[in-house]
C-alpha cells in the first residue's frame, strides 16, 4: 500500500495531540470517577487483589506480588505508582476508611516512608470486599479490555457507598486539580438515604446529615457557616485547627498538649511545625515556651510544649494558630470524572450521581438474578411434570436408539423409530412438548430424585423460586421496592462499618493576636563570613569586641525594634526586622541570612547590610560589576514590602557594592585587573532606584569592577591592589568615565 502525505497545519497537529494527552491524563490517571471515587490505579490494584483471592479472611500476600500482577495485567505505568497507591489505601491517617489492610511498615503520620514492597504484605479490608467488590459475577458493571487486550478489567467498581466523599481525593491533572476532603461514613449514608426518600430535599437539610468534613487526623473546622456555599459550588476553603489541651503539671505550671493536627499538617509538616515553634522562642516572639517534644506514637498525636510558670496559655494558643500551621486551610475543589468528562460537582451532584449508579447496579443485579430464577423455574417445572409421567419417559428411553431421538420426542413429540409397548404410550409421548432446557435436565436427572422426599424438596424449591421471581420482579418494576433494597443495604453497612466523627465543626472566632510589645533596647547585629546572623546585647558585644570585629563580616549597632536593609548582587533589597534575627549569646551560631530574608542563596549573594534608619538618612551609591554607578536618595528604600528591586541592571550585570556617601566625598573604583579610578561623587547623578545608572569607569575586555571605596575628606584609606597596599588618598583625582591607573606589584 502506497504511503499518503497529509498536508496540515503544524499548530493543529500539536493542539490535537496535546488535547488527547491532557484528556488521557485527566480521565485515565489523575482524577477519580464519581461512581466509585477511585482513580484507575487504585481501582486496578483493588480488583487485582480480589482476583488473586487476597480476601480479608485469608492470609496476607507480599505487596511485591500484588504490584507485579497489577502492572503485568492492568496498569503498565511502573511499580512506584501502584505501590504508592497501595500504601495510601492502607494508611488510616490519610483515608477516612482504609480499603487495604497493610501488614508491616506502611509509613507514619510524621512522613516516614513505607518499607520497600518486598518487605510489606497486604490484603483487602472487609469493607472493600463487601461494599466495593461484591456482585462482580452478576454483571453489575461493564468489563473492558486491558491495555494489551489479553485480560478484562472493570470499567468501574460497584461501590455501594459514595467513596468520593467518604475517602476524598487529591490529584493534579493537566490544567486542573481535584481536592476533596474525607467525610464520615455514617453521615454520608444518612444523606444518601434522605435523598433517595425525597429527591426534592433542600441543600440545607442535606447539611443537617453531613455536618462537614471528617478528617482522619481529627482537628476542628472553624468556618461552619461557609460550608454551605462550599458544598453548593464544589469549591472553597475550609479552615481547620489542631486541638490544643492545657494540662496541669507539678509546681503550679501548665503545658500545652496538641492531640490532633490539621489534615494539611500530615507528614514532613509536623517536623516543620516543631521547627516553627522553636523559631518563635528563638526570635523572642514568646519567652514562655521552655521545651517542645514530640511524644506521638501509634496511639495518636501528642506534641507537648512545656511552659514557664504563669504563662498565658490563651495567648500562646493564638500565637500557635497565627504563626504556625496549627491553623491552616484545606482548598476544596470537588472535581471528578462524571459521564466520561471532568466536572466540578456540588455535594448534591455527587450524591445524585451515586444514587443513579446504585439504581443502575441494582437493576443489573436483580435482572441477572431474575433471569437465573426464571431459568430455574423452567427446569423445576419440567422435572415436576416429568415425575408425573416418569413411566412414559422410561419407556421412551428404553425404546430409543439415541439421545437425540429421546430429546426430539420430549421437545417436539417425534415418536418415529421409538419402540413403545402400547399405542396409548405412543399417543401420550407425542403430546409431551417439554422445552429444550427441560429435556436436557430430564436426561441428566438421577434416579434418586424420584424418591418421595426428593420430590417434596423439589416442590419446596419451586415454591421458593416463584417467591424469588415475584420479589425480583417487584424490585425491578417498583421504584419504592428498589429504593428500600438499596437503603436497607446502606443501613447494614452503616451499622457494621460506621465510626464516630473525629473532626469537630463549629464557628470559631477569628484568631486575634495582640502581640506583646518587645521592650525597646539597643542590640548589635553580627553576620559572619558564612552568612550566619544573630543579635546580641550591647554589653555582651563590648566584652567581646575584639573577637566580634575580627570574626564578623558585618557589625551593626541598631535597636531591636528597627529594620535592617540587606542588598544583594541581583539588585534587590530585602528588609529584615531586627526582632526576627535570633537573639542570644555571643557564641550562638545564628541563622543563615538567606533563611531570614527568604531568598535563594544559590542565585544571589549579599553585598551590603545596613540599618534602615541609616539608609533613610543617607544617599546610597550603587556600583555594578560592569562599571555603572548612580546615587539614590535613601528615603526611596523605606517601604513596607519585604523585597523590592533596589536598582535596574543591564543583562548579565551584578551589583558590586552599595555604600552610603555625602556630596563632598570621592569614589574609588577598583577592577579585577587592578585598575583604580578616583573621581568626585558630585559627578555621579542622583537618580531613581529604577534607573540604570551611568558609566563610572571604562573597562578593558574581560575586566570587571571588584570593589568600591568612599573617600571622605581628610580621611586616609588603604586597599590591596597589584599584590601591595595602596594609599587611596594619594591617587590622582580624575573624572568619571576614565580608564583609571594600573597598579603594578
| Cell reading at 241 | 485547627
| Cell reading at 662 | 555625602
The reply to whether 366 belongs to the active site is no
- What pairing do the DSSP bridges indicate for beta strands 220-221 and 504-505? parallel
The sign of the dihedral angle between the CA atoms of 188, 194, 196, 198 is negative
Place of cell 515556651: 289
C-alpha closest to that of 383 among 429, 463, 440? 440
8 Å CB contact between 303 and 269: no
The number of helix segments (H) and strand segments (E) in the chain equals 22, 35
Q: Which strands make up the sheet holding 572-577, listed edge to edge? A: 606-611, 563-568, 572-577, 643-645
* Residues making up the chain, counted from first to last: 745
From residue 493, give the alpha-carbon distance in Å to each of 98, 132, 538.
Answer: 15, 11, 70
Burial 163-197 (b: 16+ CB within 10 A, else e): bbbbbbbbbebeebebbbbbbbbbbbbbbbbbbbe
- Dist. CA 73–CA 45, nearest whole Å: 10
Place of cell 537618580: 687
The pair phi, psi for residue 446, each rounded to 5°, is -95, 155
DSSP H helical segments within 249-324, as ranges? 268-282, 313-323
Helix or strand holding residue 482 (H, E): helix 479-497
- Dist. CA 369–CA 657, nearest whole Å: 85
Candidates 50, 119, 209, 448; catalytic one: 119
Helix/strand/coil percent split, the chain, to 5 = 40, 25, 35
- Dist. CA 182–CA 89, nearest whole Å: 13
- What pairing do the DSSP bridges indicate for beta strands 100-103 and 61-62? unpaired
Residues designated catalytic? 119
Amino acid at each position: 500500500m502506497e504511503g499518503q502525505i497529509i498536508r496540515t497545519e503544524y499548530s493543529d497537529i500539536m493542539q490535537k495531540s496535546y488535547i488527547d494527552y491532557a484528556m488521557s491524563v485527566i480521565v485515565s490517571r489523575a482524577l477519580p470517577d464519581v461512581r466509585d471515587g477511585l482513580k484507575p490505579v487504585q481501582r486496578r490494584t483493588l480488583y487485582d487483589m480480589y482476583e488473586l483471592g487476597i480476601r480479608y479472611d485469608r492470609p496476607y500476600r507480599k505487596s511485591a506480588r500484588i504490584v507485579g500482577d497489577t502492572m503485568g495485567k492492568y496498569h503498565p505505568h511502573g511499580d512506584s505508582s501502584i505501590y504508592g497507591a497501595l500504601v495510601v489505601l492502607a494508611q488510616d491517617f490519610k483515608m477516612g476508611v482504609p480499603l487495604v489492610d497493610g501488614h508491616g511498615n506502611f509509613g507514619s503520620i510524621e512522613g516516614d516512608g513505607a518499607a520497600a514492597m518486598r518487605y510489606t504484605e497486604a490484603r483487602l479490608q472487609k469493607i472493600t470486599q463487601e461494599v466495593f467488590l461484591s456482585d462482580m459475577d452478576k454483571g453489575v458493571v461493564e468489563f473492558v479490555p486491558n491495555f494489551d487486550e489479553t485480560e478484562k478489567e472493570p470499567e468501574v467498581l460497584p461501590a455501594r457507598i459514595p467513596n468520593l466523599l467518604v475517602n476524598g481525593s487529591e490529584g493534579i491533572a493537566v490544567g486542573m486539580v481535584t481536592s476533596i476532603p474525607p467525610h464520615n461514613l455514617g453521615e454520608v449514608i444518612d444523606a444518601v438515604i434522605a435523598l433517595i426518600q425525597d429527591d426534592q430535599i433542600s441543600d440545607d437539610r442535606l447539611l443537617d446529615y453531613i455536618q462537614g468534613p471528617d478528617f482522619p487526623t481529627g482537628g476542628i473546622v472553624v468556618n461552619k457557616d461557609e460550608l454551605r456555599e462550599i458544598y453548593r459550588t464544589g469549591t472553597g476553603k475550609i479552615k481547620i485547627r489542631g486541638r490544643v489541651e492545657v494540662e496541669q503539671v507539678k509546681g503550679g505550671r501548665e503545658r500545652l498538649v496538641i492531640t490532633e493536627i490539621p489534615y494539611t499538617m500530615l507528614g514532613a509538616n509536623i517536623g516543620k511545625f516543631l521547627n516553627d515553634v522553636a523559631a518563635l522562642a528563638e526570635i523572642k516572639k514568646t519567652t514562655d515556651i521552655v521545651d517542645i517534644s514530640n511524644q506521638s506514637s501509634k496511639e495518636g498525636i501528642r506534641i507537648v510544649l512545656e511552659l514557664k510558670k504563669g504563662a498565658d496559655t490563651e495567648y500562646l494558643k493564638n500565637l500557635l494558630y497565627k504563626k504556625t500551621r496549627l491553623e491552616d486551610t484545606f482548598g476544596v475543589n470537588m472535581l471528578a470524572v462524571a459521564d466520561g468528562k471532568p466536572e466540578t460537582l456540588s455535594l448534591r451532584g455527587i450524591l445524585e450521581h451515586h444514587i443513579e449508579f446504585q439504581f443502575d447496579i441494582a437493576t443489573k443485579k436483580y435482572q441477572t438474578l431474575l433471569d437465573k430464577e426464571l431459568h430455574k423455574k423452567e427446569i423445576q417445572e419440567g422435572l415436576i411434570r416429568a415425575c408425573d409421567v416418569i413411566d412414559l419417559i422410561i419407556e421412551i428411553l428404553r425404546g430409543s436408539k439415541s439421545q437425540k431421538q429421546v430429546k426430539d420426542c420430549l421437545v417436539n413429540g417425534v415418536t418415529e423409530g421409538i419402540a413403545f409397548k402400547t399405542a396409548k404410550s405412543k399417543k401420550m409421548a407425542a403430546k409431551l412438548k417439554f422445552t429444550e432446557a427441560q429435556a436436557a435436565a430430564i436426561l441428566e436427572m438421577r434416579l434418586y430424585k424420584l424418591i418421595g422426599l426428593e420430590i417434596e424438596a423439589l416442590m419446596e424449591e419451586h415454591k421458593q423460586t416463584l417467591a424469588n421471581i415475584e420479589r425480583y420482579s417487584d424490585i425491578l418494576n417498583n421504584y419504592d421496592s428498589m429504593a428500600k433494597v438499596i437503603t436497607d443495604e446502606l443501613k447494614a453497612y452503616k451499622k457494621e462499618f460506621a465510626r464516630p466523627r473525629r473532626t469537630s465543626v463549629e464557628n470559631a472566632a477569628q484568631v486575634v493576636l495582640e502581640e506583646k510589645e518587645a521592650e525597646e533596647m539597643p542590640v548589635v547585629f553580627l553576620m559572619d563570613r558564612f552568612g550566619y546572623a544573630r543579635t546580641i546585647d550591647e554589653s555582651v558585644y563590648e566584652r567581646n569586641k575584639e573577637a566580634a570585629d575580627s570574626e564578623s563580616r558585618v557589625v551593626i549597632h541598631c535597636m531591636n525594634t528597627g529594620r535592617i536593609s540587606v542588598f544583594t548582587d541581583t539588585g534587590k533589597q530585602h528588609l529584615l526586622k531586627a526582632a526576627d534575627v535570633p537573639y542570644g549569646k555571643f557564641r550562638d551560631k545564628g541563622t543563615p541570612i538567606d533563611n531570614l530574608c527568604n531568598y535563594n542563596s544559590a542565585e544571589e549573594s549579599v553585598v551590603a547590610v545596613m540599618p534602615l534608619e541609616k539608609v533613610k538618612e543617607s544617599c546610597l551609591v550603587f556600583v555594578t560589576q560592569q562599571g555603572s554607578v548612580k546615587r539614590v536618595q535613601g528615603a526611596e528604600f523605606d517601604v513596607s514590602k519585604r523585597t523590592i528591586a533596589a536598582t535596574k541592571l543591564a543583562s548579565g550585570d551584578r551589583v558590586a557594592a552599595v555604600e552610603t556617601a555625602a556630596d563632598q566625598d570621592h569614589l574609588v573604583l577598583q577592577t579585577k585587573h587592578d585598575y583604580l579610578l578616583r573621581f568626585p561623587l558630585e559627578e555621579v547623578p542622583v537618580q531613581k532606584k529604577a534607573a540604570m545608572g551611568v558609566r563610572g569607569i571604562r573597562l578593558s575586555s574581560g575586566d570587571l569592577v571588584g570593589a568600591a571605596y568612599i573617600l571622605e575628606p581628610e580621611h586616609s584609606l588603604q586597599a590591596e591592589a597589584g599584590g601591595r597596599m595602596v594609599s587611596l588618598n594619594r591617587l590622582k583625582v580624575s573624572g568619571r568615565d576614565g580608564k583609571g591607573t594600573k597598579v603594578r606589584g
